[in-house]
Amino acid sequence: MERIRIFDTTLRDGEQAPGAAMSPEQKLDIAEQLAKLGVDNIEAGFPVSSPVQMKAVKLIAENVRTTGVSALARALPADIDAAVEALKGAANPLIHTFIATSPIHMMYKLKKREDEVLSMAAKAVRYARRFTDQVEFSPEDATRSNPEFLFRVLEKVINAGARIINIPDTVGYTTPSEFYALIQAIKNNVPNIDKVILSVHCHNDMGLAIANTISGIQAGARQAEVTVNGIGERAGNASLEELAMVFSVRKDLLHFSTGINTKQIYNTSRLVANTINYPVPKNKPVVGENIFAHEAGIHQDGVIKNRETYEIMSPESIGRDHNDIVLGRHSGISGFKKRVRQLGFKLTSDEFKKIYPILLKTADSKTEVYDEDIIAIVNDELGKKTDTMRMKYFSILSGNSGISTATVEIEDANGTKQEAAIGDGPISAVFNAIDRVTGLHAVLEEFLIQAVSPSRLAVGEASVIINVDGKKFSGKGASTNILEASAKAYLNALNKSKISSESEAE
């Protein structure tokens, strides 16, 4: 079984999905979970792009010690300097530098000739090697590059000191057979390729990211760049959990292994989904709710007799252990505390004291508290750690005739303030009231409410994406009252926009 390195870029490429921006503290929480999951390297961000990115990479570099931490940099000295500064505290730092090599990128984006790109690539790698032995180079849009030019670039950067060569299918353009052939061609035509680890980074624009990644590995790549839940630019990236489980389930065909602890997959997926406010589709491979659900009678009969008739993996294999403890109003503090730990949350005593009354309130309002309820509530309440504005009270008057009216009271560092507003409906009214209290105004681009557990007494989770001065921010809120969940989600997104503007001002 050959070992495949897992380079996770959830916190960099994954965060580039619209509305998926994270605070430095949220990034650290996910990075710590990624380390527990067993990834080999965490690409923590793009430090030169903003003070928030710089802070996040620093925070992760200083606190995550059991896995490699990398930072992205264009083939520019200023970018590399920013990466070096951000990675100062890292135990295993890696600088990932890149420049586009396809004709369309060189002509229209870079406005540079081949010889200029070749020189910039080699100089960037040589400069980065002054600070660390671990330098990765990516020829952006490699799958649309001229192969002969691509071979020349790779040879030059390896001579300059690159230790990992990553081949990105930047726009999800290639097919599995083409990608296999490209990796083979690189191995056969770049004379010093044996000095480096070959890596692949595939996008999912045509739904081929995982297939292309596997083809690249079969052709000789020994590192895969992936994201949790496949999040990322446009249609996203190759999915970490899908790749890990392909290798786990198909050992007979694919003789590769990873360092991934598959029993941490489900918790990691839910943490990322809740943090960035991207619900996992029910039919998502590996981690979707429907993977272990069977409605058709023939399927139910088969699963009852033997689960392997219609399930190629078990819930336990990805960390979805069946819970024999039914949590409700009589469970007590120890039962809730145990289940919170089982779900992967590391709460301090003070944090649990803050969460426990909310869990009890939920238990009082319904017959059973599900794992999804706990995940939503814990993430919602802990999300307040970075919130500077908190909702103390709200009231909404609405019906099927007349004008909806909402009153809200919000607390911040300057005290509390109350305002009222009207709207076309209850949601519009409460959002308008929050705008008046905070003095902020956002354009609502997306709004979603979904039940996160079964029954009519389910906890509802509201998700929003807002646009403030051209920048998108996501927010989420959970409650058995969907109007309260909606108000929380909107205020959570406004908090992120406020924190972002304050960080830029610094």
According to the model, what pLDDT value does residue 48 have?
A: 97
Is 376's pLDDT higher than 90? Answer: no
Given pLDDT bands bounded at 50, 70 and 90, which one contains residue 324? very low
Q: Last residue of a domain, which of 276, 305, 333? A: 276
Each residue's pLDDT tens digit, 53-107:
999 999 999 999 999 999 999 999 999 999 999 999 999 999 999 999 999 999 9
The Cα 495–Cα 343 span in angstroms is 27
The Cα 474–Cα 433 span in angstroms is 19
According to the model, what pLDDT value does residue 5 have?
A: 98
What average pLDDT does this structure show over 366-394?
73
| Number of domains into which the chain is organized | 2
pTM for the complete prediction? 0.76
**Could you list the residue range(s) of the whole structural domain that residue 448 is in?**
388-505
According to the model, what pLDDT value does residue 179 have?
A: 98
Q: Is the Cβ–Cβ distance between 391 and 410 less than 8 Å?
A: yes
Q: Are residues 268 and 395 in the same domain?
A: no
Other beta carbons less than 10 A from residue 423's beta carbon? 18
Is 385's pLDDT higher than 60? Answer: no
**What tokens does 283 get?**
């039919």
The Cα 170–Cα 4 span in angstroms is 21
Q: Are residues 106 and 253 in the same domain?
A: yes
Of 257, 239, 235, 259, the C-alpha closest to 248 is 257
Q: Last residue of a domain, which of 252, 276, 300? A: 276
The answer to the question of residue 343 being in a domain is: no
Given the DSSP bridges, would you call strands 404-412 and 415-423 parallel, antiparallel or unpaired?
A: antiparallel
Given pLDDT bands bounded at 50, 70 and 90, which one contains residue 302? low
Q: Are residues 392 and 272 in the same domain?
A: no
The answer to the question of residue 108 being in a domain is: yes
According to the model, what pLDDT value does residue 160 have?
A: 98
For the chain, give the mean pLDDT: 89
According to the model, what pLDDT value does residue 295 have?
A: 46
The answer to the question of residue 382 being in a domain is: no
The answer to the question of residue 210 being in a domain is: yes
The answer to the question of residue 379 being in a domain is: no
What CATH number corresponds to the domain at position 438? Answer: 3.30.160.270
Q: Are residues 255 and 113 in the same domain?
A: yes
**What tokens does 43 get?**
């690409």
The answer to the question of residue 201 being in a domain is: yes
Of the ranges 176-190, 353-367, 405-419, which one carries the lowest mean pLDDT score?
353-367
Is 331's pLDDT higher than 80? Answer: no
What CATH number corresponds to the domain at position 129? Answer: 3.20.20.70
The answer to the question of residue 172 being in a domain is: yes
The answer to the question of residue 303 being in a domain is: no
The Cα 280–Cα 304 span in angstroms is 27
Q: Are residues 267 and 404 in the same domain?
A: no
According to the model, what pLDDT value does residue 387 have?
A: 64
Tell which phi-psi region holds residue 277, choosing left (phi > 0), alpha (psi between -120 and 50) or beta: left
Given pLDDT bands bounded at 50, 70 and 90, which one contains residue 285? very high
The Cα 26–Cα 41 span in angstroms is 18
Q: Last residue of a domain, which of 217, 247, 276? A: 276
